[in-house]
Amino acid sequence: MARTIQLAFLAGLAAVALPTATTAEEASTESAPIESAVDNNLLAMVNDWPVYVEDLERVLSDLHSQVRAASRPSFDVDSLIRNRLVSNALLAGEAAALGMDRDAPIPRRLEKLRDTMARERLEYEAITSRIDIDESEIETLFEKEYRTVTAHMATLESREEADRFVAEVRSGADFESLAKERSIDGLRARGGLAEKFPFKNLPSDIVEAVFDLSPGSLSAPLLNELGWTVIRAESFAEADSELLPTVEGRIRGILELRQAERLRTALLAELLEKHEPEIDDEAIAAIGCERRGSEGLWPVVPDPDRILVEVEDQVIRAEDLGAALLDRWRSVRNEQAALLTKPLVLDKLIADRVILVEALHRGYGDSPDVRRGQHSLLTRLLVGKYLDEVILQSLEIPQEELAQYYETHRSEFRKPPRLRISQATAATLEEAEEIAQLLRDGADMSWIARQRSIDRFKETGGDRGWLESGRALEPFSASDLQVTEAGAVLGPKGWEENFVVMRVTAIEAQGDYSFEEVSGNVRNRVKSLKFADTMDRVLTTLRESSNIRFYEDHIALIEINAETATSDKPGAHGGH
């Protein structure tokens, strides 16, 4: 059976330069026999360093993220394995021989990946694989989630302001006027009016209260993340059945998420009894909330290293909860609402630790998948570390070498020419096109601008002064203004009542940048060239002295699915 690697829009990664195999390598890399005990995910052995399918997936993913979709030609997986992956294995092996695999933060990164993959496998087996949606549930949820309310809403900063707002409305004050004056939510400009607002779009902490109202009734202030919201219901409507076919997929997704949450809750109840956490309530209570001006709400963490929760050998420190709260509070403005989320955030952290403990108990952290995933990540980390700390550190570039390179390539550091620009602006595209044609036929730009332009440059004959070539000047882009000949007419470009035509009336060369002005660019270029040369020599030497074995039958099984893909496979998103 073929092994399929699923990645989005992969067609075309062969354009990325890869080290090429040497003749010496070819002489020492005969196909390895396939023993039954050999992992069929193994693609090659480079000395004692294995190359797995996971290494190929990681490199393909990296390449996919680096190359623009529009410029991707076809690519050669076989070449990728025999060149890029072998080169990575050679460098990683050298780094490991130097003990770099023990340097921080590599061990912690590998442990974190192990934890993620183990937790994902347990969640897949206990939750994701058990989800089963009945078709009748889709229609039932549609009727609930897509019913609508027309209402007036106003959100106030404090409960006191909200109570005063309710009292004034009940005394006869106009809701819309007060909302325009005092509300802090997005409906303020409309006097709080929300027309045919779906149940599904209302905040979860107030939605049930809204639909419990009767037409014309006014709610008590409802606490939510933005503040305290007051609602006056105007009317309600049932879900429009014609919408069902277009939203069925979305509803199925909601049902799957909710069923997953129920399964997760049941799993956690079982695991919390099995792995009962030890909780320091006093330390948790000490973590507060403060407002930092424009930065919003921030957690106050008196002792970041203090352990709040222990689940066997897994702990949650105060700094962990603080970081999670900071992320949770990015959209919260109300301090009371923020503090109400603290136990919810802590519960999620505890759930993650409990699931991890159970996953490790079941041995999910020591599976072949996890070991291969960790090895792939280790290869990547070691290659980067070796390049930074060995190859790059070995590159010495004397100042005189930089100066010599600059002199030899001085023409490559030439300043862009200056352009003298004139323009005329017309209210319609037709008139602008007529002006452009007159200029191309040789009409005088100064006379045209004074007679027909409608912009502020008409009094100077359209003259806008000097501009460096290749710099944007609205509505023209930088590429539009990479002009090499005087007299060029650009445009028209623009929008309603503002269509611009430009003429380049003169071009003036500016000479070369001095060495001092571009010394940083020169250093980067020379360093890049020396790096490439050094890498070529290092890899050639390593290949010539290495034993490289390819598992041809395993390589032949690989297929690439270039469509956008998602996977339900456990560990599919575990840091690969």
**pLDDT tier at 171 (50, 70, 90 boundaries)?**
very high
Q: What is the average pLDDT across 181-197?
A: 91
Q: Is the pLDDT of residue 133 over 80?
A: yes
**pLDDT tier at 67 (50, 70, 90 boundaries)?**
low
Lowest mean pLDDT among 62-66, 142-146, 262-266: 62-66
- Cα dihedral value 260, 263, 267, 269, nearest 10: 110
| Residues 99, 267: Cα–Cα separation, whole Å | 41
Report the share of the chain in percent with pLDDT over 70: 89
Q: Is the pLDDT of residue 567 over 80?
A: no
6-20, 68-82, 515-529, range with greatest mean pLDDT: 515-529
443: number of Cβ within 10 Å: 13
Residue 442 · residue 529 · CB < 8 Å: no
User: pLDDT digits over 450-463, tens only?
Assistant: 999 999 999 999 99
Residue 169 · residue 232 · CB < 8 Å: yes
Q: What is the average pLDDT across 463-482?
A: 87
The candidate with the shortest Cα–Cα distance to 114, out of 478, 551, 571, is 571
Q: What is the average pLDDT across 332-340?
A: 87
**What is the structure's pLDDT at 482?**
85
Report the share of the chain in percent with pLDDT over 90: 69
| Residues 172, 178: Cα–Cα separation, whole Å | 11
| Residues 363, 350: Cα–Cα separation, whole Å | 20
User: pLDDT digits over 521-532, tens only?
Assistant: 999 999 999 999
**What is the structure's pLDDT at 13?**
30
The candidate with the shortest Cα–Cα distance to 54, out of 17, 81, 15, is 81
